[in-house]
């Protein structure tokens, strides 16, 4: 375990003792190397990278400069000599991410025992992690920079995806834009958002909605869809923790039949996911006998039932093309539908139970009350982005995954230290807790 170093000169780093003392790194054993350079302490490197996050240091070069200017930092992390920047890079590139996941799970178990994390409500969200490649620099011209089949040379593991960015208008234009938008849409707030391509990864995180702390995190390539990662992320969580959530919260992008079924059947919880309209389709009309009505106003002819991907559907076809007696009354489609010349139009209606149709509507007061907790995941990511999690200085899926895991470990280390130092209101405030601990010492 971590032992305090006896320094020959005074330091102002004693506030980090409460964080490092409650950080179990026993699974990181010093590797045996009979030849080559002498190995360094993996525990010390991990503490040094956590210190980098606590101080919001952007790059490893800046960390190296600060450690050389203040050697007490290295001693506080457990080193006898100041390690080089390359040692931190080797740690991020070579250490298996599973070791950091073990540290993360130990912290979560500690917070569960302390009563901070309950798992009563869980929310999932994702944030882009932008790769450190020249293709992401808007000031550099690269031919075919956003060609998804042409991977960046500096980071072949990175993949192309899209993220939403918000452009800040100029100060002179702010009042004009607000006044114009408020005149057109008096009930809406002015927005200035656009989509942007990027090469990189995505970090998927499940938060405990009440404490706003992460309970599981996974980093994958950016081209993997968010809805595809929902079930794998929750299976990974429940493999180690037996939470009994009352509700699972997610954005409208997760509004899918199989996701809602997984929440209700496997997790035994309610799904608080807004209905995604997907597209502005015409309103579907039915008769009193549940017969589909086409756009021409005719009762469509039921043409059998069939199963499609586990769903029971009823097919309806055009009555003019399939009923002789009806064709004598109407020889052609009154609205000249383009499909009439190729056999007439057809439509499908689902007959079995639909999890989307039976979901809570976003207009329900109970839904609104619970779904407010989803904003906690956004605040959780904002704290992680203060640690520069979104802009890693290393490349490769393993190094970026370790970079993101260390950011989550830092957030949980702050929460544990806050509770054990009788500062429960500071579990989500990194700078605030450090100032409080520094003033006490």
pLDDT at 282 over 80: no
User: Is the entire prediction scored with pTM above 0.85?
Assistant: no
pLDDT at site 179 = 52
User: Quick one: three-class SS letters along 398-412?
Assistant: HHHHHHHHHHHHHHH
Mean pLDDT of the chain: 85
Structure confidence at residue 10 (pLDDT): 44
Residue-wise pLDDT tens digits, 330-374 = 888 888 888 888 888 888 887 767 777 777 777 888 889 999 999
Across the strands, what pairs with 292?
286
Per-residue pLDDT of 186-226, as tens digits, reads: 444 445 678 889 999 999 999 999 999 999 999 999 999 88
Domain ranges of the chain: 14-95, 100-275+367-433, 285-350
Q: What is the DSSP letter of 10?
A: -
Q: If DSSP states are collapsed to H, E and C, what string results for 402-438?
A: HHHHHHHHHHHHHHHHHHHCCCHHHCCCHHHHHHHHH
Residues 6+ apart with CB under 8 A from 135: 142, 145, 146, 152, 199
- The CA distance from 112 to 109, in Å, is 5
Q: pLDDT-derived band of residue 75, with 50, 70 and 90 as boundaries?
A: confident
Residue 5: pLDDT band by 50, 70, 90 thresholds?
very low
Please say if the pLDDT value at position 11 is more than 60: no
Say whether domain 100-275+367-433 belongs to CATH 1.20.1260.10: no
pLDDT score for 168:
57
What is the reported pLDDT for 58? 92
Taken as a whole, the chain contains a residue count of: 441
CB under 8 Å to 173, separation ≥6 — which residues?
Answer: none
pLDDT for res 139: 86
Say if residues 419 and 436 touch (Cβ distance below 8 Å): no
So what's the pLDDT on residue 438? 76
CA 79 to chain centre: 35
Quickly count: other Cβ atoms within 10 Å of residue 189's Cβ: 8
Strands 193-208 and 159-166: antiparallel
Q: On the CB side of 218, how many CA atoms lie within 13 Å of its CA?
A: 19
pLDDT, average across residues 278-305? 78
C-alpha 421/C-alpha 437 separation (Å) is: 8
* pLDDT of 47 strictly over 90: yes
Count of beta carbons in the 10 Å neighbourhood of residue 42? 19
Phi, psi dihedrals of residue 215, rounded to the nearest 5°: -120, -10
Condensed to tens digits (0 to 9), the pLDDT of residues 112-168 reads: 999 999 999 999 999 999 999 999 988 888 888 888 889 999 999 999 999 888 765
Question: Dihedral angle at the C-alpha atoms of 47, 50, 55, 57, nearest 10 degrees?
Answer: 110
Q: Give the residue with greater pLDDT, 193 vs 386.
A: 386
**What contacts 290, CB < 8 A, 6 or more positions away?**
349
Instruction: Give start and end residues of each alpha helix (H) in 95-142.
Output: 97-113
Residue 78: what pLDDT?
85
Distance CA 77, CA 72 (A): 9
Which position has the higher pLDDT, 5 or 42?
Answer: 42
For residue 370, give both structure tokens. Answer: 């619970």
206 and 241 Cβ atoms separated by less than 8 Å: no
In contact, 66 and 97? CB cutoff 8 Å = no
Q: What angle do CA 437, 440, 441 make, to 5 degrees?
A: 90
- Rounded Cα–Cα distance for residues 172 and 162 (Å): 30
Q: Is 280 or 155 the better-scoring residue by pLDDT?
A: 155
Instruction: Show the 3-state SS of 25-38.
Output: CCCCCCCCCCCCCC
CA angle 97, 100, 106 (to 5 degrees): 140
pLDDT at 185: 42
pLDDT at 304 over 80: yes
Instruction: Name the DSSP letter for residue 295.
Output: T
**Res 184 pLDDT > 50:** no
- Predicted confidence (pLDDT) at residue 107 exceeds the cutoff of 50: yes
Strands (E), 60-212: 121-130, 159-166, 193-208
Angle at the Cα of 124 (from 120 to 130), degrees rounded to 5?
Answer: 150
Q: Report the alpha-carbon distance of residue 397 to residue 403 in Å, rounded.
A: 10
Q: How confident is the model at residue 9 (pLDDT cuts 50, 70, 90)?
A: very low
């Amino acid at each position: 375990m971590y032992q305090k170093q006896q320094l020959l000169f005074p330091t102002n780093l004693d506030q980090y003792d409460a964080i490092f003392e409650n950080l179990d790194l026993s699974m990181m054993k010093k590797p045996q190397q009979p030849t080559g350079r002498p190995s360094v302490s993996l525990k010390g490197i991990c503490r040094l990278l956590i210190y980098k996050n606590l101080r919001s240091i952007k790059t490893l070069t800046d960390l190296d400069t600060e450690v050389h200017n203040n050697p007490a930092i290295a001693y506080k992390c457990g080193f006898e000599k100041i390690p080089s920047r390359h040692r931190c890079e080797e740690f991020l590139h070579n250490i298996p991410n599973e070791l950091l996941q073990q540290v993360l799970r130990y912290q979560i178990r500690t917070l569960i025992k302390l009563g901070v994390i309950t798992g009563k409500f869980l929310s999932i969200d994702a944030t882009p992690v932008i790769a450190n490649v020249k293709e992401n620099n808007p000031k550099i011209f690269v031919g075919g920079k956003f060609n998804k089949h042409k991977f960046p040379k500096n980071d072949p593991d990175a993949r192309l995806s899209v993220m939403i960015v918000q452009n800040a208008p100029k100060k002179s234009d702010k009042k004009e834009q607000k006044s114009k938008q408020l005149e057109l849409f008096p009930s809406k707030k002015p927005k200035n958002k656009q989509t942007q391509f990027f090469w990189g990864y995505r970090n998927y995180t499940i938060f405990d909605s009440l404490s706003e702390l992460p309970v599981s995190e996974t980093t994958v390539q950016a081209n993997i869809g968010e809805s595809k990662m929902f079930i794998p992320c929750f299976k990974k969580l429940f493999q180690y923790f037996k939470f009994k959530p009352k509700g699972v919260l997610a954005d409208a992008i997760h509004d899918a039949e199989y996701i809602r079924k997984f929440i209700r059947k496997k997790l035994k919880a309610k799904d608080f996911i807004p209905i995604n309209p997907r597209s502005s389709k015409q309103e579907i009309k039915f008769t009193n006998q549940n017969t589909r009505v086409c756009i021409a106003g005719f009762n469509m002819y039921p043409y059998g039932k069939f199963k499609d991907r586990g769903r029971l559907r009823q097919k309806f076809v055009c009555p003019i093309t399939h009923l002789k007696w009806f064709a004598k009354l109407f020889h052609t489609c009154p609205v000249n539908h383009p499909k009439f010349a190729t056999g007439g139009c057809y439509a499908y209606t689902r007959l079995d139970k639909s999890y989307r149709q039976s979901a809570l509507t976003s207009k329900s007061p109970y839904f609104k009350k619970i779904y407010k907790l989803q904003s906690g995941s956004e605040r959780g990511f904002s704290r992680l982005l203060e640690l520069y999690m979104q802009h890693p200085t290393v490349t490769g899926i393993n190094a970026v995954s370790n970079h993101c895991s260390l950011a989550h470990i830092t957030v949980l280390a702050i929460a544990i230290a806050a509770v054990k130092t009788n500062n429960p209101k500071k579990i989500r405030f990194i700078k605030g807790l450090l100032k409080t601990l520094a003033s006490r010492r």
